[in-house]
Amino acid sequence: MNAAPDLIDEMLHNEGLSRSKFAITPERLAMLKDFSTMLSVLMNLVLIIFVERTNHYREVYVPQFASDMIVYGGIIQGVSSGVLILFYAMARGGLITKAKWREFVKANAKEMTPFENEDRLDLHEMSVEMTHTILMTKGPESPDFEDDGKLVFGNCYTKFEYYMFNILFFIQDGTFIYYCLYFAISMLGFFYLDIFYALHLLDFITRSPTLQNVIKSVTLNGGQFLMTALLLFTIIFIYTTIGFFYLQDTYVDLNVNKFEDVPNENFCNTMLQCFVKMADVGLRSGGGIGDATLPLSYENKEM
């Protein structure tokens, strides 16, 4: 029942969009977003296929036609992602702010005393404090603000307050924030580095319920993962103390200074260095830290 007003607003809003000359429907928004994402996929394919390193891997070489494709694609993709924000604001802004106003008014009703117009004052006869209280406790949909089907607040302060809250409510919307990040990545890719276009590929997470469930399986169990990591690093630290005091001579990295007069380097000179190396090599190596240490000798050196 609490969602009924939002559903009614959405039905009326969609009906109004269908009657307008230029209807920004959810389907058209989805098509624009698909177009922008496919451009990103195309530019990433160009990067994968044509970008290479030359001059002993010191320089990045991109053929001119591939560079032009990325530049022109970046312009179109940036414009489309910017238009996506504008269209989303036009299509969903009113619905989002109305829903937020209802939540806001419901929360304020528990803390503020609603203004009762017992003297039947006209809106223009009310003080700023009165109109402010009506806005905070009844919202802009209050009959007190209605005048021939138009919103009238009686003073500039309450009117300004209404529009500022609308902006605040809208910029907190998750989809709007996502589209802004999407646009920001487009600008970083165009003006700074092409590699930022690769972040657009994460958009497929929002399109796939399966991928969303994968993300949720991690985020919803974040506490368990953190405690597991704590146990893991505790065990690594215990082994670090044993290795630091009793096995330090075996902790030698044979790949450091390999071609110098004094090759090799002991990676357990300090407890911190030893712990970091244990966590790094121990977790990455198939056989644990044993893959990075010297083999133990069982010969009796005193004989």
pTM, two decimals, is 0.74
Within a domain: 216: no
Name which of 264, 269, 267 is nearest 277 in CA terms.
Answer: 267
Do 86 and 178 lie in a common domain?
yes
Do 202 and 163 lie in a common domain?
yes
Model pLDDT for residues 42-93, shown as the tens digit of each residue: 999 999 999 888 887 888 888 899 999 999 999 999 999 999 999 999 888 8
Do 167 and 244 lie in a common domain?
no
Domain that holds residue 112: 4-209
Do 256 and 127 lie in a common domain?
no
Within a domain: 20: yes
Higher pLDDT, residue 289 or 269:
269
Q: Which residue, of 166, 187, 209, is where some domain finishes?
A: 209
pLDDT of residue 187: 94
Q: Please state the domain count of the chain.
A: 2
Rounded distance between C-alpha atoms, residue 194 and residue 198, angstroms: 8
Within a domain: 303: no
pLDDT of residue 303: 45
Within a domain: 138: yes
Within a domain: 215: no
pLDDT of residue 78: 92
Do 247 and 157 lie in a common domain?
no
Rounded distance between C-alpha atoms, residue 30 and residue 279, angstroms: 45
Q: Which residue, of 157, 174, 209, is where some domain finishes?
A: 209
Do 48 and 126 lie in a common domain?
yes
Phi then psi dihedrals of residue 266, to 5 deg = -80, 125
Model pLDDT for residues 137-148, shown as the tens digit of each residue: 888 888 878 877
Burial of 16-55, coded b for 16+ CB within 10 Å and e otherwise, reads ebeeeeeebeeeebeebbeebbebbeebbebbeeebeeee
Within a domain: 298: no
Q: What is the mean pLDDT of residues 172-182?
A: 93
Do 120 and 204 lie in a common domain?
yes
